[in-house]
Amino acid sequence: WPWQESLHNFNRLTCGGSLFSDRWVVSAAHYCRVCIYLPSNNPNTWTVYLGLHSQNDLSASTVVAGSVNRILIHECYNGSSHDYDIALMELSERVSFIDYIQPVCLPPRFQKFPYPGKSYFISGWGKLFEGGKSMSMVKSIDIPTIQVMYRDFNITETDWCRVCLLQGDSGGPLVCQDSNGRWYLS
């Protein structure tokens, strides 16, 4: 998952994100908004780790650490319901794409989800339970039954991006591969 990002605030793993261009990461607004309004906090307290596989090796040769220039939160984000729970983080410098650092494609503008019969994949370093430790290695899961989940949990169009693998994976990618082999953020 070369677009998978590990977002750290004040040097602590906070949430996941997805690289979608050479300068932008998409994540969850509920993590970013809380931190934006803390006194003494600003986007520069965030570090985005790209090309990361293990949280225990942030200095691996494959890892690029980037600082955040600004954070944009969806104008309709609702902190109570978490509708439109999406934030964009602009990196301070452009990222060079290599095998293990690549952007995920954004879906066409009016694409509806879920795609019938498609498998989705979620990835991240989240915790298995409240108060537990984050996973050291990035994990992923194939979700072939996304339509069942979508129906059973009453996930609406405005909160579709809140589906997550483990606690702490909020903001991380939910992706689907099209028939041409291209991966899209869902």
Give the active site residues.
30, 85, 170
Q: In what order do the strands lie in the sheet with 183-185?
A: 139-143, 120-124, 174-177, 183-185
CB proximity list for 76: less than 8 A, separation 6 or greater: 83, 84, 158
State the DSSP code for 51: S
CB under 8 A, 24+ apart: contacts of 42-46: 43/68, 43/69, 43/70, 43/71, 43/89, 44/68, 45/9, 45/10, 46/7, 46/8, 46/9, 46/14, 46/71, 46/89
